[in-house]
Chains A and B, each alone.
Chain A
Amino acid sequence: MLKIALAGIDRLFAAIAASKKLYLPIENAGEVEFSEYSEGAKVRLDALQTVKSAKDAFFPFTENMMQFHTDGKNISVEAAKRVDEDFVVFGVRACDARSFSILDKVFLADPPDSFYAARRAHGIIVGLACHRPEETCFCTNFGIDPTKPETDVTAWIEDGVLYWEAQTEKGKALTEEISAFLEASDEKAVEEQRERTKKILERLPLANLDLSYFKTHPELEIFKRPEWKELSSHCLGCGTCTFVCPTCQCYDIRDYNTGHGIVRYRCWDSCMYSDFTLMAAVNSRKSQVERFRQRFMHKLVYNPINHEGEFGCVGCGRCLRKCPISMNIVKVAKTLGGEQA
């Protein structure tokens, strides 16, 4: 285990940023998001979560895929460059870290998504352990250990010191590069923090969600439950729950006319939107009940069916905090049968 005093952490950031792009939880206009580090940025490692999840670093909110230029009768097509340099995402919590493995199963399945694959290959993730979870956190239900994120490097902050431990080859290589800033440490402070956090985790109000219903009952039975109507009755059909969710993965591909050509880009899409899948033909889900049901069926039923029992939720609690009408995956799960004996 290594360590560095938080007071001098900016020097570490500057050192990493000198050779690589560095993404950190940075405050802008009052809210914290993973953004590229620059000197003087308001880094907020104390913020438990960003509004958008860390998936933004691998599957960005919007990204260009290609450009078309017209010159008289000629059209030239220029593909967007895939990321080809290493970058670091620093401060990823265990819930967001797990979401990458859920996204991988979709984006890296054959044929792999080359934009995402390039970022995954070049991204080095520094995880940050949680020691002050929110009441909305329920990651432990998915076998996630918030005291030790599954990342290339794991970091803990305790008493003004950042502790650092490489977990993978990528993590070791990064540690090597910045070793001048780190000094050796024992594991006492980290072990104590982990023990303390584990006690808090047991007291979280959502620590013991029973989701077995969704794995033991037939898909169609769950699909046909009459409660979907009531659960969705006030849903605004906004995209908040999908856009803050670390595991939501749908995107749209659109063209933007620059006046001198076309930029083809992809952007996050939401199954809650009326124009979802319109590019394919139609949106087969005509009403909000159907759209609402789709989002939660995907997380709780289809994902486990398609991916060896793994739920499409990491329990980050973002949808619990951000839905304008406070409807969310926990309420859905409990209403439909999460609380079964």
Chain B
Amino acid sequence: MRDIREKLLKKIHELFDAGVVDRVVGWKAGEFCYDVTPALFNAGNIDEILYDAFCGPNQSKFLVKGAEGGEKKILALLKPCDTYSYNQLITEHRIDPEKIYALGIPCTGMVDINKIRALGISGILGIEEDGENLKIETLYGTESCKKADVLLERCLVCKGKNHVAGDELLIPDEEAPEVPKCAERMTEVEKLEAMSPEERFNWWRSQLSKCIRCNACRNACPACTCRTCVFDNPSSGVSAKVNTNDFEENMFHIIRAFHVAGRCTDCGECSRVCPQNIPLHLLNRKFIKDIDEFYGEYQAGAEPNVRGPLISYTEQDVEPSIVMTRG
């Protein structure tokens, strides 16, 4: 990753020098080795931009407001998975690609600090990549773990090293390292499908009972870009805060999952940001699986400006309630 970062900084300097862009959305180092913050940089502090295994946050949504207001274009650094969200935002007219210079950057998988902690590793002071392993310095001694075991959920089912959008690539996709696929995307969904309705209901109720209605999932989601969310509209009768009725409470997630169905690229931001580790991506993946089965394989964001299956009617469309009985 170190050489990639050097290459990246050189490229960013070039783009600033050539007058193509005047600001860049990047990542800034934190207090520890893992708490990287997305941040806006300008010509003066380009060299502070970080790129390592903790640059997980999907930055494409930031462009909705970030692309406004500058004199020149804003530089966006997009990992392969980010390009899907980027396309989807173009399709929905939420960003104007004319105002953005999108540079595709390679990625070898992003690490989830929570998964390291879940292994019982605490007091983390430093993390170094050591081949396939991570060497972790802690207050209580040196620990190690396999990088593959602590990747972000989205990286376990990586869509591949190819970028599907962008003005330029830092290195050609063919030359980029392959991201090892660690899991089948639908395995967990299939496990839920195999449950009895009652088991499944209880499983979700138990997961969703942890929700603190922080709205991080919604606010981080690149498909949730309504100017005013229905839950933020005081006259809508629903609210973004916790209710007194826990069923009413759980409806938030159902409504959100329906609203992003067909538009969700499965970027996994919702699950990444959830402070309660609720596997929200499984709700969205179930929709993706159903859409694939009903209307043929479809990946939201694979190309810009296409009409997804849920908003384009053809006479051949199946009638979901006929081909699939609820169970």
Contact = CB atoms under 8 A, between A and B. Distances in A.
Given A238-B215, A326-B36, A275 B234 contact: yes
Nearest to B62: A234
B216 A238 contact: yes
Contacts of B234: 275, 278
A290 B276 CA distance: 27
Given A256-B248, A326-B37, A30 B241 contact: no
A237 interface: yes
B309 to A, nearest CB: 30
B268 to A, nearest CB: 12
A256 B243 contact: yes
A29 B243 CA distance: 21
A296 interface: no
Contacts of B220: 236, 238, 324
A20 B273 CA distance: 37
Interface string B288-316: 00000000000000000000000000000
B207 A29 contact: yes
A252 interface: yes
Contacts, number: 141
B226 to A, nearest CB: 12
B202 to A, nearest CB: 11
Contact of A133 (B32, B123, B244): B123
Interface in B183-213: 206-207, 209-210, 212-213
A316 to B, nearest CB: 14
Interface residues of B, number: 46
Nearest to B239: A254
B31 A205 contact: yes
A200 interface: yes
A322 B278 CA distance: 13
A334 B39 CA distance: 16
B251 to A, nearest CB: 13
B260 to A, nearest CB: 16
Contacts of B36: 326
Given A134-B122, A320-B31, A331-B31, A256 B245 contact: yes
10 contacts: A31-B276, A132-B140, A134-B122, A135-B123, A135-B124, A136-B32, A236-B216, A244-B212, A325-B57, A334-B31
